[in-house]
Structure 1
Amino acid sequence: MFGQYRSPLEFASDVMRRHGACRVLFKLMANNDNSKQQVYFGGDFDVLRLIPHGDLVAQNTTRDGLIFKASLDLNWIDIFTDALPAPAPGAQLIYYPRYPEVRLSGFLKNCARPPSKLMQPPTAEQRSLREHTPRCLVLGIVPDGKVLAYVAPWGSELALDAAERINKGETENVASIFHELKQQVIDSRSDLLHRLTAIYQGGAVQSCRLNREGLWQAYTARNAAGYTLESLFGIIPNGIAEPDYLGWELKTHGAGAVTLMTPEPNTGFYRDDIGRFMHNYGKCGSERRDFTGKHLIGIQSENTALTLRMEGYDPIKNEVVNPDGGLILRDHQGNIAAGWTFEKLLTHWSRKHAETAYVKYRAFDKEETKFFRFGPEIRLCRGAGVKPFLKALHSSAIYYDPATNMKLIKERWVTKKRNQFRVAWKNIGDLYETTENIILPDS
């Protein structure tokens, strides 16, 4: 049946790739992985960074406390026919911080061709018979955000092949409970390092960025290093909170702190009327207004007279307890100047930092033109959990350091937004499960 393929798992992987998948994952399914008890996707936040999903939406529940739900563009496929993928519009990921764990839910609802028989809760007799004969769930991650899915039955060639490969150590563990064929994992990392090596050995490059059409243009703003590196990977700036290259988020580091993310506030005066916000809290001149300054939790900023608070968070339990909370900037009257709900922060963090490559660079001027040399020091980081992230925010290890301004240009105020959350270089490792320091070879 599997012809030229060395194994059923490789056959399924190839089918997924023909449907557009750039990455193929699989897991052996327990009896409790069913439509009633949902499908277990891991005990931490890792899977939310691994699998594309919609915005996290908080919900308070009586039994499970605060939970976060995210829509999932799940599509079931049949690897043995040419049938088009069948969307499962009710599919969603649910993150349960109290336990913690992530589960897949609603994966059969309103689907034209769901694998219903393979996902039903087992009877007591079936549970006993299937205890040591798992099914296998295969997922294909498509760059446009779709997730392809296929379930191999109990005792099938594919499920047995997956189990054997796991037992022989021929897979790489991903997000705690998923697996990936080792060659696929090596290819992603090696491809990234190959590109970075070529960039380093190519020498200094002029400061630049790509425009909307993908064309090169000179660029010399403060964040030029990051844009220049992205241009060398062919990345057009788009503001989308997704990883940059083959699942890797690219970050540049020269000296000092690192900018982790730049999410826009989604509550307060800033969102409702940024002109009023800048006038009330910024440093204002006749032709320019600036909102800057390091903001730490519980300390009033000398620049803005605002105090950053982490509301709805229990530092002892290290968990969110109020879905309406978040990072809130308040003035001395208690008004919300700007704020980021936990939904906003966790959505951003869950999408951008599954695997992060920090690339050291040196900047210098040549004939009044700025240049960058990237490398040779690279730091690869994996596994940025939600609890270390929340703890770092509350302790101000991750701090808010905005650089937003408004300029009066041709009698019109033009805003440049830059809401930076930064972290000291020495604290980077505290945010991830593993870090790997690499020195790129000279030519």
Structure 2
Amino acid sequence: MGLEQIKELLIAQGASRIVVKCLANNDNTKQQVYLGGSFEVLQLLPSGEIYSGGISKKGPIFKAPLDFWWLTDEGDICNAPGSQLILYPKYPEVRFSGFLQKCAQSPRHLMQPPTPEERAARLDKNRVLFLGISGKKIIGYVTHWDDPVSAQVKEFIEQGQLTTVASVFYALYKKTADSKEVLIGKLNDIYQQGLIPSQRIKNGEIVPYVAQNGAGFTLESLFGISPNGIAEPDFEDWELKAHSGRVVTLMTPEPNGGEYTESLEQFLRKYGWSNKPDRMDFASIHKNNLRNEKTNLCLIMQGYDPEKQEIIDPEGGLHLIDPEGNIAAGWGFSKLLEHWKKKHSRTCFVSYSKHDEDGIYFRFGPKLRLAEGADIKRYLNSLYNQAIYYDPGINMKLINDKWKPKKRNQFRIKWKDIESLYERVTDIALDAQDE
């Protein structure tokens, strides 16, 4: 098939984005397909929940299943149910495996380990892997070493005609315009609107919001986003954050271990406090390797080597430990990685000012900060070095003889430390956009 025909078939199968990678000799079933020397690919390719894969010869590993399908020359697709990403945090590195299992129409003959003679003969040739992203589904197609399309794509890359994506891929097609330009244009329109009343979306409709913390809800409403607590990007592949102070809330993951998950009431009675008979609270800053005097809990990052800046035990994580060594609450590394992959690839921090005359109003802009390339090593190192800290706001209230919970497990960072989390940070003034 020609290049345009491959694109058309992938688009016909629902692909809204197509990326390509020239495969090396080592990209095969035995050595697995190399997908980059960082975890950035996790934020490009939709995957299932990350889980611990134990210890391998290459150290700790994590795995994430893929909803992967092979495209045939006839335009049909065939599911490869064993497909998965394998994450090696020691390096870090991501590889693709299991892509031939239980799939009769997979390109098995193109993905086998080469003999020494084949390896030598193909040194200057490449197969090309096409990946069409359709929602949470990935559709793959691979060309032969001598296929004209392989040479054509390689030439496009060498001539700089394709943009790099997630370090090892190149963008071939995207259904919508560049999301960064669209985002800036949208925010520029919002800035030009001036003061906007505090509001949110409820049941599909914009309604007034009278509490003081309405900036984020208001900004989301202007993008048609309904608050749902799901850790996904807000606008295409961008997360939106309204920002006005010295501290930024990065994420709000619920613990997946410890006494907290067994009984929140028991957790609060044991580690929280109560100034009223009808209310219990747990709200105090916790930093790694420091005991909190109020809760008597110590936040400890277990299974992490700070000198090498790598995970050494995939079953470890960030745990609140009491003086007896019990885990009061904990976030396994798989939980932290899962939350990070979904939420922090590209973040747009939008400045705002609040006006309280005759109601609550916000003006968004003129300053934007576009942060891209959230590196997993930077993320984990910032947790260990206390740049990112745990700042919960959890309580239970006794209402009609029943305890009603409010959960807010925040991880926050000071504004001055934001740049340490990202590879690229760009500051933009919206009032300059029309010049």
User: Shared fold (TM-score greater than 0.5)?
Assistant: yes
Deviation at 1:303, TM superposition (A): 3.1
Unmatched 5+ residue regions in structure 2?
none
Determine if the alignment matches structure 1 residue 237 to structure 2 residue 227: yes
Counterpart amino acid of residue 408 in structure 1? L
Asked if the contact 2:18–2:174 (Cα under 8 Å) also holds between the matched residues in 1, the reply is no
Equivalent position to 1:56, from 46, 50, 54: 50
Counterpart amino acid of residue 77 in structure 1? L
Deviation at 1:223, TM superposition (A): 4.7
Task: Tell me the SS of whatever aligns to 2:163.
Answer: strand
User: How does 1:231-310 map onto structure 2 within 5 Å?
Assistant: 231-284=221-274, 285-310=276-301
Deviation at 1:334, TM superposition (A): 2.0
Report the aligned-residue RMSD: 2.0
Q: Structure 1's 276 and 433: CA in aligned 2 closer, same or farther, altered over 3 A?
A: same
Q: Structure 1's 60 and 216: CA in aligned 2 closer, same or farther, altered over 3 A?
A: same
CA distance in structure 2 between the partners assigned to 1:228 and 1:18 by the alignment: 37
Counterpart amino acid of residue 163 in structure 1? K
User: How does 1:43-442 map onto structure 2 within 5 Å?
Assistant: 43-78=37-72, 80-83=73-76, 85-143=77-135, 145-181=136-172, 187-211=178-202, 213-221=203-211, 223-284=213-274, 285-367=276-358, 369-441=359-431
Counterpart amino acid of residue 383 in structure 1? G
CA distance in structure 1 between the partners assigned to 2:12 and 2:213 by the alignment: 38
Asked if the contact 2:16–2:175 (Cα under 8 Å) also holds between the matched residues in 1, the reply is no
Asked if the contact 1:170–1:181 (Cα under 8 Å) also holds between the matched residues in 2, the reply is no
Q: TM-score, normalised by structure 2?
A: 0.94
Asked if the contact 2:18–2:173 (Cα under 8 Å) also holds between the matched residues in 1, the reply is no
Unmatched 5+ residue regions in structure 1?
3-7
CA distance in structure 2 between the partners assigned to 1:293 and 1:223 by the alignment: 19
Asked if the contact 1:292–1:303 (Cα under 8 Å) also holds between the matched residues in 2, the reply is no
Structure 1: 4+ residue segments shifted above 4 A: 181-186, 220-223
Deviation larger for 217-226 or 382-391: 217-226
Q: Structure 1's 238 and 22: CA in aligned 2 closer, same or farther, altered over 3 A?
A: farther
Asked if the contact 1:44–1:102 (Cα under 8 Å) also holds between the matched residues in 2, the reply is yes
CA distance in structure 1 between the partners assigned to 2:410 and 2:343 by the alignment: 15
Q: Structure 1's 409 and 219: CA in aligned 2 closer, same or farther, altered over 3 A?
A: farther
Deviation at 1:376, TM superposition (A): 1.5
CA distance in structure 2 between the partners assigned to 1:412 and 1:159 by the alignment: 65
Question: Aligned residue for 1:30?
Answer: 24
User: How does 1:10-29 map onto structure 2 within 5 Å?
Assistant: 11-29=5-23
CA distance in structure 1 between the partners assigned to 2:16 and 2:216 by the alignment: 25
CA distance in structure 2 between the partners assigned to 1:365 and 1:70 by the alignment: 47
Deviation at 1:157, TM superposition (A): 3.1
Asked if the contact 1:308–1:329 (Cα under 8 Å) also holds between the matched residues in 2, the reply is yes
Percent identity, please.
48
CA distance in structure 1 between the partners assigned to 2:232 and 2:130 by the alignment: 22
Equivalenced residue count is 432
Asked if the contact 2:55–2:314 (Cα under 8 Å) also holds between the matched residues in 1, the reply is no
CA distance in structure 1 between the partners assigned to 2:150 and 2:302 by the alignment: 46
Deviations along 1:181-228, one digit per CA (max 9) or x if unpaired, are: 4987962211111111111112222222222x3222333456532222
